[in-house]
Amino acid sequence: MATAKATPKSSEGVSGRAPAGRESKPAAPQRGADILIEALVREGVEVIFGYPGGASMEIHQALTRSNIRVILARHEQGEIFSAEGYAKASGKVGVCVATSGPGATNLVTGIADAKMDSVPLVCITGQVPTSVIGKDAFQETPIVEITRQITKHSYLVDRIEDLPRVVKEAFYIARTGRPGPVLVDVPKNVQQAYMVPEYPETLSFRGYNPHVRANPEQIERVAEAIREARKPVIYAGGGAIASEAHRDLYELATRMNIPVTTTLMGLGVFPETHPLSLQMLGMHGSVYANYALDRADLVLALGVRFDDRVTGKLEEFAKHGKIVHIDVDASELNKNKPAFIPILSDLKPALQMLNRIAVAGDYAAWHAELDEQRRRYPFSYKETDGAILPQHAIQVLYEMSKGEAIITTGVGQHQMWAAQYYKFVEPRRWITSGGLGSMGFGLPAAIGAKLACPDREVIDIDGDGSFIMNVQELATAYTDNIPVKVVVINNQHLGMVVQWEDRFYESNRGHTFIGDPTGEGIYPDMVSICQGFRIPARRVSRKEELADAMREMLDAKTAYLLDVIVPHQEHVLPMIPSGKTFKDIIIE
């Protein structure tokens, strides 16, 4: 049976020393599951999200003998979304454990989500014993094969001797280069076997070089392009956060006086309250951000992948500008949009080199042009007398939380409104499912983020359709005393699909109403659901009730849900229809 493994080349110098006071080589043989957990401890793991089953019981038994905190989710999708929230908020590798068969397959959406959004995860799955693999044993699935296209790397550990090395490699791969999920599949007989473990101190790989650096000649070309430009713009994405390059980006933008727009995944990498911020671009981005990319003569694309929700019609996107694309992933360069200067590099050292030599051009006329667009087309909505509009609710939350909360979201209209009306001034305060767009992400991600940042207020801004998909994680919040807050923007519909129905399908409803078909009140009753989980909750439907309810939620010392009833007719605007251009933008 083949074991997925990397081939050693030479010492990389990755630290793997045993913690102080521990023997580097135990005197007696240890069980495989205990070796696995010890290897996790040596990687600094403090929290694991899991759900036990027959093929992972040995792992959970070993966890009871460790100091690692185990968060018992109520569904495997909940656990992996929590691990993502933990990783996104902390910058550390998130870890989750599931059993074989359905337990492992329930992780698949989260693995794909982490791959799309470049989230460092190590997903450990129990597997049936090696003697019955491939024989349709009870709760057997070939999870390595199932997830091969959505992991950064995968291992089937069929020898106990490989466990310490595999765990160390898995963490190194997950967190270096472009981060991503790594799967470690451990058969039950390997968990039960015994050996005297040897934990590696260093690792290296043939064919895997995550530490790529731009050369000086490339950076000099970028500096020259900046100097010659008259309409430059910085287009920054999640890669700038993963690279911890936000301070270097800030220095470049403010010293060069270049406006900055970010992708959905890049929110917070540059403070949105800064005069140079154009906020988010793309399908539901600001008019002025999309205008800037349409008119720019130089686009500094930093840690982005030219996603279709940003570009619309590729041939028309930034067609007047020279594109400088800096990314750590070689496969992204020239993949969607050809670059004038493509640079394979970790973003942080590339920006540090650029900051040492770059000289600004004259951009006064460009700033005046963009300021006029800001004045004419701000994010806006029409106020109402009684009903609560979702934009208003999020704006009130932003003001009352002083913009200091970590915000997680589900997927849909509420996600876009949160991106528009909650301004982020630091990275890792905005946690959402961007590339895959996984509904049900918000609540479990908030749980993970709160465990990563216990001193921060963590608020899930969710939709009723998205929230109900992982509502069972309220039990996790209650039993582990994790005081996350939830604001449900409840319009009784699958709001984003309804918006597309209104715009492109003559308002024909294709199963997008999720309320009570009899029309008898709000359904489901979120407050009653919360009561069953022993979570405090309150519902509001009038503007005059909102501030008091919001204050009650923010003051709560436990988990709390605020159900905000809003009209379903509201649309997220601006909107550039899929596959269209800036010229097709819908403003009203």
Residue 523 predicted with pLDDT over 50: yes
User: Is 14 in contact with 200 (CB distance < 8 Å)?
Assistant: no
Average pLDDT, the chain: 95
21 pLDDT band, cuts 50/70/90, is very low
24 pLDDT band, cuts 50/70/90, is low
Residue tagged active-site, from 9, 138, 531, 583: 138
Under DSSP, the state recorded for 193 is -
pLDDT at 205: 81
Q: Which sign does the torsion angle of CA 38, 40, 41, 47 carry?
A: negative
CATH superfamily of 390-565: Thiamin diphosphate (ThDP)-binding fold, Pyr/PP domains (3.40.50.970)
Mean pLDDT of 163-191: 98
Residue 4 predicted with pLDDT over 90: no
Cis? peptide before 524, omega within 30° of 0: yes
Residue 503 predicted with pLDDT over 60: yes
pLDDT at 384: 86
Tell me whether residue 138 is one of the annotated catalytic residues.
yes
- The residue behind tokens 């933990």 is 86
User: Is 323 in contact with 219 (CB distance < 8 Å)?
Assistant: no
Tell me whether residue 5 is one of the annotated catalytic residues.
no
Interval 464-484: pLDDT, tens: 999 999 999 999 999 999 999
Interval 333-344: pLDDT, tens: 999 999 999 999
User: Is 285 in contact with 574 (CB distance < 8 Å)?
Assistant: yes
User: Is 538 in contact with 553 (CB distance < 8 Å)?
Assistant: yes
User: Is 446 in contact with 484 (CB distance < 8 Å)?
Assistant: yes
Tell me whether residue 76 is one of the annotated catalytic residues.
yes
Residue tagged active-site, from 439, 496, 550, 575: 496
pLDDT at 3: 43
Q: What is the pTM of this model?
A: 0.94
User: Is 260 in contact with 253 (CB distance < 8 Å)?
Assistant: yes
Q: Dmax of the chain from CA atoms?
A: 74
Class of domain 216-376: alpha beta
| CA–CA gap between residue 431 and residue 416 (Å, rounded) | 12
Span of 157-166, 204-213, 454-463 with lowest mean pLDDT: 204-213
Residue tagged active-site, from 38, 43, 58, 76: 76
Query: Which residues contact residue 460 at a Cβ distance below 8 angstroms, ignoring those fewer than 6 apart?
Result: 407, 408, 409, 410, 442, 443, 445, 446, 467, 484, 485, 486, 487
Q: Boundaries of CATH 3.40.50.970 in the chain?
A: 30-195, 390-565
CA angle 60/62/63 to nearest 5° reads: 60
Tell me whether residue 218 is one of the annotated catalytic residues.
no
Q: Boundaries of CATH 3.40.50.1220 in the chain?
A: 216-376
Query: Which residues contact residue 375 at a Cβ distance below 8 angstroms, ignoring those fewer than 6 apart?
Result: none
Tell me whether residue 467 is one of the annotated catalytic residues.
no
Residue tagged active-site, from 92, 115, 152, 188: 188
Higher pLDDT, 24 or 475: 475
Class of domain 30-195: alpha beta
Interval 36-90: pLDDT, tens: 999 999 999 999 999 999 999 999 999 999 999 999 999 999 999 999 999 999 9
Please give the span between the terminal C-alpha atoms of the chain, in angstroms, as a whole number: 60
204 pLDDT band, cuts 50/70/90, is confident
What percent of the chain has a predicted confidence (pLDDT) above 70?
95
| CA–CA gap between residue 471 and residue 2 (Å, rounded) | 40
Mean pLDDT of 336-356: 98
Span of 19-33, 229-243, 500-514 with lowest mean pLDDT: 19-33
User: Is 535 in contact with 561 (CB distance < 8 Å)?
Assistant: yes
Interval 104-117: pLDDT, tens: 999 999 999 999 99
